[in-house]
Structure 1
Amino acid sequence: MDTQVADTLLGSLIDGRYRIRGRVARGGMATVYTATDERLERTVAVKIIHPSQKPDTRARMAGFVARFTDEAKTIARLTHPNVVAVYDQGTHAGMPYLVMEYVRGRTLRDVLAERRRLNPDEALAITEQMLAAIAAAHRAGLVHRDVKPENVLVAEAPTGGAANLIDSVVKVADFGLARAVEASADDEQGTQLMATVAYVAPELVTDGHADPRTDVYSAGIVLFEMLTGRVPYDGDRPVEVAWQHVDRDVPAPSTLVPGLPRALDDLVGRATRRDPGARPTDAGAMLAEVQVARDDLGNPNTRTAVLRRVTDEPMAQPTMMVAAVQPAQRPTWARLPETGGGQRAGRRRAAPEQGDDLWSRLGALRARVLGDPRGRVAVAAAVVVLGLVAAIGGWWVGVGRYTVAPQLVSLSKAEAESQATRGGFQLAYAEPRFDEKVPKDGVLAQDPSSASRIEKGGTITLTLSLGPERFGVPDVVGKEFELAEADLADAKLVVARGTARYDDNLPEGVVVDTNPKVGAQVKPGDKVTVILSKGRAPITVPNVVGKNLNEARAILAQLGLVLVEPPTGKESDKPKDEVLGQSPADGAGVEKGTQVKLEISNGPPLVVVPRVVDLPCPQAKQTLESQGFPVAVQFNPNGLTRFQNPGENAQVPPGTQVTIGCL
């Protein structure tokens, strides 16, 4: 049976108002819980700083709380649809906490763990809203300092559908939290880097300085990860990763994912320049660049067409205007201001005037050419040449430039690349997907399909397999059933309720275990049975250690508990039938009819009585008493020992009296 570590905050009431219901997430600086605001009867999120961040003196603790309170007030003034709202703050058990808006959804880290990487439209849509929130903070004079996927929440799209990331509502959390904790760390032990090294800006590493351009750099790294499925740098130690941001330029995303537009490379490159002065000045400036890039990539402008009606009259002709296609509408929280300006008017070229003599001159030229035999031959040759050119060109356009696409499906990636190279083809890769039958990096599909026509040297797009989809059962222990059910459903697992059981540590209705266990490998569609707590059991097991077996049996029976018979015996220096141990232990909560196992003493081990017959009576008495036997002397105490009881070599309990007869 697995032992779950209980969270003592579960079920507790904070500040007489917030009832802690379940644990949502645990990070490096704080733990987030879902709670019920019993005053307003609404669900909120409560973030409590870890005790490990607590300063070591009372004065420093007071300063820490004051700074945290100031940061909370600043954050609470941020009113933006893409910022997680802050409702309240306080301290609990000496540690500060924030009460925030509860966002029902997932973090961007969870989305990337499931999808690995996003397509450009989705990545830019999320980046727009993320930058809109950070820009609001920059306008308020606040720098986030810890922009990363774990602090970006992706709520369900207003149009519905968990997979619709383009229309999902994105909210950014933890504004100012890193600064408040960092200031406390500075007081205690000098400047510390309170940021996630995968996303840290170079200036934070070298001199600890942060301004709005620091957040721009981190947002650029987040965009890089959404496009490529990985962060630009890794290493064995965090300090190695941090210094790579200082010493190296972030690579272009298209070097890792061939086929990404150049505009995305430029956007990531601008945001992640090592020199802060070369980046956009703040999140608002970067937001404008992202929106322009999104318009350029997803909504190319259509030119206005002018159609002329041909007539024989050399007069001005009417025109028919074709309306330009409008760019797709963004959500209201991420829309650029409308720009003015009309379409560029094209100048019409006046038609040259033609007189009657033009037609007469053309007629005369035709007569001269056809009237000369050599002219007729030249015209015929030109017609033949033009026919051949047209035939060869038509053959090339329709047939000659094409070949047949090879069969690449079911090959490994290396085999497919080798065969494509031999055939002179280029390869591109679509989004990979999981497959139960095709191993990882096997080719699932190709476009165009095998035996289809393709231009010589053309590009074949392959879809690779990620192998069978397997992932660990999410950790839902300590959460209420509704939250656990939502987490498991998000992981594409089928949820079932198991038989509830009593638990001494977790309140009623909270998950105490799952089957399969948390972390066990499963695939989408597998069933996970959730076992809920019934709260503490109604009977508390009494302490019967040290009591006689019969007394212990009576106490247990009176409480409705059943003694496992026979009890387990063990040699001991304790008296026979004294209780040495019990299971369950005293204080455990159990229900009526629960079996209790006892371990009792079999008494001390037996000892051997020595031979004292034929010894002088005083010597015999001394020998027995030296080995712990009480001695009773009969008849002549100065005579010779003629008999003893118990007899020689008899095994008796320690302290048994030996009687000797002396004559």
Structure 2
Amino acid sequence: MVQEPTQDHLIGTIVDGRYMVRSRLARGGMSTVYLATDQRLERDVALKVLHPHLANDPTFLERLSREAKAAASLSHPHIVGVLDQGEDGHIAYLVMEYVKGHTLRDVLTEQGALPPRLALALIDPVIEGLAAAHGSGLIHRDIKPENVLIADDGRIKVGDFGLARAVSANTSTGALIGTVAYLAPELVLGQAADARSDIYSAGIMLYEMLTGKQPYAGETPIQVAYQHVNAVVGRPSDAAPGLAEDLDELVQWCTAADAENRPVDGTALLTELRHIRTTLTDEQLDHRQGPAPLPFPPAVPTAATTTLGSTAGNPTEALPTTVSPTEFISPQSNPTTIMAANGPSRSLAKGSMAGADMDQDLRQPGKRELKRLERQQAKDRARAAATPVRPLREGNPGRRGVIWTIVIVILALLAGSAGWFFGMGPGSPGTVPDVKNKTVAEAQQLLRTAGFQSEPRDVFDDDILAGLAVGTEPESGAQVRKFQPITLFVSKGAQLFALPTLTGGTLAEAKTALNAAEMALGNVTEAFDEKVPAGVVISQDPAKGTEVRHGTPVALVVSKGPQPIPVPDVRGLAQDAAAKALQDVGLKAVIAPETVNDKTVPKGSVASQAPANGNLFKGDTVTLSVSKGPIIVKVPNFVGKNADAAERELRKLGFEVVIKKDVVILNLVLVQNPVNTDVPEGSLITLTVV
């Protein structure tokens, strides 16, 4: 990142009592980035201060806080770490790891199209970072060269995780989030984004790295967005001839308009990316776009290594191949001098290599030319000696005339035949007709009418019905000589492949297997299962072994584990009724061995249960404690005693007491009901007081 000299009121201030703002690094559509010093930890950080229209939105700030926490939990060597987030008055900010260096945009601006070896080396850590984020449930939504940071020490990191997601959630009007040149079609259409949206943006970025330009251009952003939705990203080799076919397929896989046809996430793409890097030849990896080298370039070293950065276990390098000496042939005809771009010139005598066995005098220009003339004169003398000075037979002049006449006639016939052959006959040019979707007989008749002979060849085709023509080689519309054979491709129908077994593994494993089989992921639903652990695939549709076309979507049902059962409240029910109520919902009742007294629950009914609430799973147990009724207590006689003392004693015994009195003079119990009898704990005792 390049520091921009500018006047800014924040420079020199301390944000939130902690971050000393030192200089401004960059300004974008959502925020301004400053170089700041964390005074608490004494380290440099990147302080991203949001623009006021975002900082003044409470809903956005709440969303940003959640996303920042999620991004901060993701620690990976190829992702810029989110260190802090907060507000200081009218300032809303994010604190991120400071990466001193430059961006991928700077590299593309300076170098244009990159050799495939360098392009793949640069994008590898980007995809590795995305794979880690996707595995943690995070989506970037704004992958572009400006967000790929290249540190001075070679480390490569993806920035702005969390911020793009928070902003996209805050756009109620459906505005496009992310640089439109790299925006996935589903985001243009306002649909939900997932990991495959990041894959699309990465594919557009790789296209630009390989070709030096973006696949879509327009005078306004909406024109570019329209192309993302309605066009198909072309092959990089169309814009940069000579690129390997594997690179074309990789870019077009990532940028498929239908997200179902892209890699499911960063992990799937990373696997294929690294496979391609190992299968391309050095010539394919080091293919470079641009004009041819100058006739006499300056000498270059024989080898060079450009290290971009590395992480433990996965070095990220761009390694140009060893530079071979480039030889240039001078215009002199003899001797032929070859000038090496990185070494001394060497000479070749005509017809033989100059070397240690050549006489020293031949290395001197005058003697070398004299020697050549002597050899040429010797050859001329030998040729003259072998040539007769007069014919062996004089011959007849009239006969010679007849012979010449015959020769001329034959040549005329040959010329006429050749003219007919190449003008109207089998050698004349013709246009190969379009035979697609024709029957074999119809296609061959069309070719015969056009003057061609065809050879049928059966091929698989996903779109053309079996038995119909797929096309020709050369293809329709081509101008070829009629004597050249035409290959007629006849469809055998779609090639079918057996579906792999997806059940019994995790959803991630199923996705990997589908990618390997070149199948698509269909609808994923969840269902409770008492035997299959949560997260494991229960079933697939179509079933394993079913023969289908490549790209067929496969629906999966994933287990949510055993279904939780809310514990019913059976307190107060008779013992048998309570046990049946638990059994009806799939739980088991266990009766506690000890009964309990309970003044509110009749004997034989459930006084308490454990657990009393919450969730259990099928077959779990609930312990029931059965009531043996209230405690029986004998009522003492308090007739003639102080009413207040009588009330206190009765309440200590657990009775309810009611006092009846009209005029109290002595405050003595005149009448007590009941008295001197056994009654249940908590019974009502009536005292009449005088």
Name the TM-score, length of structure 2 as normaliser: 0.41
